[in-house]
Chains A and B, each alone.
Chain A
Amino acid sequence: MMTRCDCARAETLAGAIALDEADETQRDMYRAHLATCGRCRSNLGGERAIERVMATVAGARDAERWEPELRAASMRPRARYPVWRWIAAVAAVAVLAVGVRAMERHPAAATVAQRGTATEQAVARAVAALNTQTAPRREHEAESLTFASPGSGSMALALHLDGRAQGRCVVTKSSGNRVLDETVCRAALRTLSTRH
């Protein structure tokens, strides 16, 4: 149990509370420590104060709108770095660009492209992207899935899975074709729920 002067332990407890990782026992221990230690009470603050400070971090994260454009940035010469490094970066970008085309010509995608409709192609791409990229890790949390969609750049789906492996899907950046988007959503969810 915590003694009156165990301020180091109080710091880790405050951190756990801040990250929403503390259970009720730990919260009680923290409250008990604050009741006896004026220094921690003013330095660390109660649970309400901790929540307020952490809300600032979440607020900053949610307000962020900056969309860095890495490819464009990498084409600019930089005096700070030696020339070979710049060349290597440009080469890498070129290889990546070739990679996208190579991926589009990938056997599996190509077969679909020959015989399939635009919807089938999009579904195949969504499923391939789902397999290589991402899936909701925690229940009740949304996960975004980005994949290349023919003719319309990239499409982003927000997938959401509940405890019974039943999902919801929202198109965050629509390709403009609602029928296509819905089909892709359903296919993505089907793939996802068979895996869980």
Chain B
Amino acid sequence: MNAAADRPLQRGSNLFDVERVRAEFPILGQEVNGHPLVYLDNGATSQKPRRVIDAIRGYYESDNANVHRGLHALSERATNACEGARDTVRAFLNAADRREIVFVRGATEGLNLVAQSWARPRLGPGDEIVITTMEHHSNIVPWQLVCRQTGARLRVAPIHDSGALDMEAFAKLVNERTRIVAAAHVSNALGTINPVKEIVEAAHAAGAIAVLDGAQAAPHDTIDVRALDCDFYVLSSHKCYGPTGTGVLYGQATRLEEAEPYQGGGDMIRTVSFEESTWNDLPYKFEAGTPNIAGMIGLGAAVEFMTELGMDAIAAHERDVLEYATGALDALDGVRIVGTAREKAGILSFVVEGVHPHDVGTIADQHGVAIRAGHHCAMPLMRRYGVPALSRASLGLYNTRADIDALVGSLHKVKEIFDR
């Protein structure tokens, strides 16, 4: 460990020491294609701080055992560690009760769980599900499946050219037929922060439930599910500096009680006979089989890491880099930012006129700059903007203005190559 990492991290302060934070991420020290790595693909997945890696290794080296069953010391330690992670996540989301925190594989599985376990048994022809144009495929396809299974209808609220949700049109779509409103908290392709409080209120006023996809929101700002009053909220660990293969479904206890089990198996039952089985209490009713124990422990460590830095400080730091990046890209001839809503998180999608995003991505990579190029799992949104794909730089808490300078430098190279 270097000296910088030995000192405690800032707590809830705006004095965000980004160099000290960067020192916590072993992966950031490397060179790629002869240049220092500039990692700007956090919307796809974030890097992991040393303490997350250590927590996972520590579990496997010292505490590995199955949970909720053994009476031996290791099993008790493993159980305590992953139930401790549940408590950490409960506090992080400000959920009322630890029973409302269900561990799943990721945001995608969380949304599928709500679709299959809550929606499928109670929807039918005449019912409607409202989503928005900016949704990730994982908040479109599970609902399409439910519609196919139940005869319910999917409605899509449009967006403005800026990438802001058209709240007037949204309000008109939500009516007495609406049973579910499902929306991204933050758009993965545009960075738009949706007015989720208003969305939840509109859903509830119509007698519908509100499902929020927080995959792109949870790493960037404070999430308070009680203040939002949403019925369900999902997030992915790997976008929050934790390991892949783990995520969280928050559900209000009454909603989770109403829902059918998602998968059958061990741990999710209370009693089993060949005639009939009964279900375990929340949240275990939804956690069939041996869970991703190391994943839960790793996520717990990641959430502690973010909490220690302070979500307000993280948000302020990322806002500063986003503003700087927006100005820098705006100043480039032939570069157009897609997604200019007033409320935005650290995601910058853009088009370099006359150059396909994949060519931009390859050239940036040759300069050590990792960005994403593609449809960002949002094909309907690409159609909305009339583009086959976009380049996207997405920020994490360790990004700096210097990272943006490197991105801009690589975009100059793009123009140099393509204008010659």
A binds B: no
Taking Cβ atoms with an 8 Å cutoff, the residues of A that contact B are none
Taking Cβ atoms with an 8 Å cutoff, the residues of B that contact A are none
